[in-house]
Chains A and B, each alone.
Chain A
Amino acid sequence: MSYTQRETPVLAELCTFLVEDVYGELAARVYSVLARHGRQTLAAVARASYLNGRQIKYGLVILLQQHLVFHSGNDSQPTYYEIDWLNSYALVRLGKVTKLVEDRFGRKAANVMTNLLRLGHTRIADLKEAYFPTETDSDDDSDDGTVNGAGMKRKRGGGNEPNGSAKTNGVVNGDDVKPVVSGDHAHSGTMNGGPVEQSEQEHAEEDDGEIASVDELYEIIERLIQRGWVRTMTESQYLSPGDMHDMLQQETIDQDLGGQQPTGTKDKAVCHKNTLERKRNMRDKWLNVPRFSRRGKPDQDYSNPTKRVKINGANGYSSAGAASPEDKLVIRVNPEKIAVAMRTEQLVQLVEQRLGHVTAHIYQTMLRMLEANTARCYEEYPEPPTAGDEGGDNQIDPKNLVTARDVAKKISRDLDICEGLDPNAIVQITRKGHVRSANILSQPTDPSTLSMDEKTRIIDKHIQLLSEDPTHFVTWHSRAGFSQWHIEFEEIAKQLIQTEIENTISARKGTLGVKLIRALRKKGKLDERATCNAMMMSANDLRGIVNDLTVQGLVQTQEVPKVERREAKHSLHLIWYDRQRAREKLLHDTYKGMVRILQRIQFEREKVQPLLSKAERSDVVGNEEKWLSKGELDALRKWKEVQEKLSLQLFREDDLVATLRDFHGPLVSV
């Protein structure tokens, strides 16, 4: 069977679905060619598809604009195209991103973010134009956005764009690119995040999502860049990991090794180390905050002194219409930051399940304070371990520490921080009254009347709960600021993965399956008898479960012959659990589950298609009651229900994917 005829790998299928869903058929056709054939030149794509060159180019432009496809650098001929799987998958998160940004920076920022997501990478000037169209340009700007404008340079773009030739923005096939300026929230009610915290938002004032002035827009963009949610776009971000590796390795060889291919192990190690360093540097450079010409008060709290350029307070405000130097800057959403925010949300959810909502809220506050300084969930290019260099780098960056006092200052006054604690602890702190025999306070304490010191100490109690949990959500660092803590994300991420695997098994096989997995994880490879001993059960009760989990790929088996003739009777039959394998299997299954959900949505839509096209007619929209029969309205409502249910499930599966894939690099061994 030829390669093209093989069953499509699940992720490719999923991403093709997503691309088709969001960017239409043309883009999806080109995308699926790349997905099936891998890295291709333009000519090869043309050969493998029934599209003509023009169509393929249009399709590619859409994909490039949205960063769904890498391409090799411009200097090497011919140019190769390759799918960016992570970014393609991220399409499913569009709604979630808006929600995450809204929780943190308010609705206006969420609005900007939505537009950035829709447009792909964007020049700031174009974004400004979208919000505040100048009279002469506006028609041109919005109409160009559809397919016909693809590949054409903007008039105002100048020759100075940092990115390559065919990648002008504003191409979204069939979709209305005109940014939603107000009101419209891309996220539906299906997000499962916590309650929106007004207190968490940066803007205390009334926040209705309407951006009033250009300056405000710039301010929002700048804040998003500073916090690492948005990064500047550079050519190098289009290089696939392989191309980037080749380029940087070559650079290392040229500069550090005098152009000689490394031969000895020492040279190779140096080459490897320096290449990684170059990768890190390049990636960190993407996050550099560009110099913004207009500045209000300097905002040093969130700038990252080592990584980012500090911004000096410059001149005041210029008039709204005039062009600013940063207009030419091309910006895009930073996908790594999205994962960080999702990690925060999931950790908070987990804590809420284990320790209650008050503790969870305090944890959320801690995590969000750290978020500004956390660029990514894990280091993709870690420094290779050098022999004899243990314990030297125990130093924790003070930016990754948070104190109980900081939390006490930030925490909302409406939160009843006494909830979820032992009454004795409260009495110990407030020194008012005592605890009666039924564990009731003799003198009730209103948490809003507590002094800052008492508040800090109560919050410290909550944080202690967090640190005592077997997951060790926080780790004690020092006594500064009453108590100072850091969060060992590495370990917690592993624990999160484990929790999800256990959840899955628990749903399928009940507590017994979970117990088996835990026993195997603790003890390593076990034969039947040892398994029984660890679980204190008889073998008969266990065999069925072991068998089922093995078939599902969550438990591994091994047969070790004891005699030369490998008789089954004389062999050791071991079972064990490999977290990495279980994780990959579950991830793969989840992708497949997501594909099935998308297929079901498609199927459900097909069933009501005639009705939908009727309901979308311009004379019917808004007058549904008048033109549609009762049966049709019911069917429409049912379809919406079904769609919502399926989408919600899709987003929840995405949460699982984030846990399994984005929070931690590959796990080594058990």
Chain B
Amino acid sequence: MAAPMAPSMVPKEEEPSAVDLANNEAGTPADALYDKCAQRSQGTVFFQRDLSNMQVAETMAELTMLLQELCDRHLMKLMTFEGEPCWKLRSRAEADKLRRLTPDERLLYHHIDQVQAEGIWSKALRARTNVTQQVLTKCLKSLESKDLVQSVMSVKFPNRKMYLLKHLRPSEDIAGGPWQSEGDFDTALIETISGIVAQHIENETCIKVPGNWNDYERPDRTADMAQKKAQVQGIRDIEDAPAVKPYHQPRDPNSSKIVHKNNPQYPTSASVAEWLNSKEILRGKTVREDDMEQLLEMMVLDGRLEKISGTNYRTVLTAIDTKVYNGFVDAPCGNCPVFDLCGDEGEISARTCVYFGQWLETQSEEV
């Protein structure tokens, strides 16, 4: 691709006349050249030999003149590619808008055009163009109102307004990766994708085992022992004989549990990114390894994944479904909103505590 370079800025004093010129001279050789170029696919970059091959201009001097004219009328944009000059077409409507700009506006427009999708910070713009703050603000406003540029809040620097051309999509640097939209994290998207990714990683690293996977005959030794002892003693001692059989996992084939796979291939951010891109779940967007790493790291923080040695991830499994906290927070004090106000005596104390009352189902002292 041709890198957009600064066209040699020519002072455009004769701009109004140029506009008149363009209006009057429809069907001139310059227009013919423009039309020929417009037949090519959009966004084509023309080099000098391409243009001369179109056989509109007789001589090289004439071609240069025609191009100069087109440039003056903003129908063409001069660029350089590896030191060689080249041109790109603008639509007539756009050129029309450009023609109506004031010189200051045009100057700003060119600088904004240069940075393309990366955007440029208003302060940097001012530093480059040397215009006063008032002029800058005024011009940028008018450019925005003319639908030529847009302003985007940078993700990296949230208080910076970045300017770029209207038709461009802001780059990831300023608009954020696939997880962000309009500068903010797209919570719904992240939720969905992380669910899908979690399922994928679970399939990769875990295995679902039904309750009856190892269905051998289970001899009940403990019960035998207790029985024998009861026979000998005549009566069973409550202390040492198990009144109930020791608990065994139920062998219900429908109840299954998930265990870690033996020798799994632990996925990395690269492999998950590749998988996700191949599934084409994110329409129109591809996920880079960095983006995926960000998502996976977030899921680790979330407690859905755990990191195994450096770059590998796996699913977090818990063997017990019920969530156990600790002794402190399971008591009323651990979650008490007035814990810091609670004293040995006074209105808020253990004696008058309503939470203890609820928890123990007893009466607390009335204050």
Contact = CB atoms under 8 A, between A and B. Distances in A.
B360 A646 contact: yes
Contacts of B239: 208
Contact of A518 (B179, B301, B324, B333): B301
Contact of B302 (A13, A424, A515, A649): A515
A409 interface: no
Contacts of B324: 353, 503
A418 B335 CA distance: 40
Interface stretch (A129-137, A434-442, A573-581): A434-442
B326 A504 contact: yes
A60 to B, nearest CB: 26
Interface string A333-374: 000000000000000000011111100000000000000000
Given A507-B329, A508-B334, A534 B298 contact: yes
A596 B333 contact: yes
A445 interface: yes
A596 B213 contact: no
Interface string B205-241: 0011110111111110110000000000000000110
A511 interface: yes
Nearest to B309: A468
Most buried by A among B261, B295, B351: B351
A444 B214 contact: yes
Given A422-B207, A439-B208, A655-B326, A470 B260 contact: no
Given A354-B318, A507-B329, A604-B360, A423 B209 contact: yes
A651 B330 CA distance: 12
Contacts of A441: 213-215
A586 B335 CA distance: 12
Interface string B136-179: 00000000000000000000001000000000000000000001
B315 to A, nearest CB: 12
B330 A604 contact: no
Contacts of A418: 214
Contacts of B339: 589, 592
Interface in A486-504: 500, 503-504
Interface stretch (B69-77, B97-105, B124-132, B183-191): B183-191
Nearest to B176: A533
A656 B327 contact: yes
Given A503-B325, A504-B334, A586-B328, A537 B187 contact: yes
Interface string B113-125: 0000000000000
Interface string A573-617: 000000000000010011011011101100110010000000000
B319 A354 contact: yes
A312 interface: no
A655 B228 CA distance: 39
A262 B344 CA distance: 48
B23 interface: no
B286 interface: no
B108 interface: no
B362 interface: yes
Contacts of B302: 511, 515
B277 interface: no
Contacts of A654: 327
B7 interface: no
Interface size, A (range)? 35 or more
A596 B210 CA distance: 46
Contacts of A420: 259, 319
Interface string A204-225: 0010100000000000000000
A597 B302 CA distance: 33
Contacts of A416: 214, 248-249
Contacts of A515: 301-303
B260 A422 contact: yes
A546 to B, nearest CB: 15
Nearest to A504: B329
Contacts of B300: 518
A500 B326 contact: yes
Contacts of B214: 416, 418-419, 423, 426, 441, 444-445
Interface string B340-367: 0010100001110100100010110100
B320 A353 contact: yes
A504 B362 CA distance: 26
B201 to A, nearest CB: 15
Most buried by A among B187, B216, B318: B216
A428 interface: yes
**Do most interface residues of chain A lie in helix, strand or loop, or is the interface mixed?**
helix
A535 B301 contact: yes
Contacts of B208: 439
B331 interface: yes
Given A503-B329, A586-B328, A604 B362 contact: yes
Contact of A446 (B212, B217, B320): B217
B135 interface: no
A645 interface: yes
Contacts of A511: 302-303
B294 interface: yes
Nearest to A593: B333
A593 B308 contact: no
Contacts of A448: 219
A379 interface: no
Given A468-B260, A507-B334, A511-B303, A414 B246 contact: yes
A144 interface: no
A420 B211 CA distance: 11
Contact of A653 (B249, B318, B331): B331
Given A414-B246, A416-B248, A603-B351, A536 B328 contact: no
Contact of B331 (A444, A469, A535, A593): A593
B311 to A, nearest CB: 14
B292 to A, nearest CB: 12
B265 to A, nearest CB: 14
A153 interface: no
A357 B319 CA distance: 8
A419 B250 CA distance: 12
A268 interface: no
A522 B248 CA distance: 40
A461 B207 CA distance: 15
A545 to B, nearest CB: 13
A470 B306 contact: yes
Contacts of B335: 507-508
Contacts of B190: 536
A470 B349 CA distance: 41
B262 interface: yes
Contacts of B344: 13, 595, 599
B325 A507 contact: yes
Contacts of B353: 596, 600
A420 B260 CA distance: 8
B198 interface: no
B333 A421 contact: no
A469 B221 CA distance: 33
Interface in B254-274: 259-262
Contacts of B317: 354-355
A423 B351 CA distance: 55
Interface string A636-649: 00100010011001
Given A422-B261, A507-B329, 15 more contacts: A352-B320, A419-B249, A422-B260, A440-B212, A504-B329, A506-B325, A537-B187, A538-B185, A589-B328, A596-B342, A596-B353, A604-B362, A638-B362, A642-B362, A651-B327
16 contacts: A354-B318, A422-B261, A423-B209, A423-B213, A440-B210, A446-B216, A469-B306, A503-B326, A519-B301, A532-B185, A590-B328, A597-B333, A599-B351, A600-B356, A607-B362, A607-B363
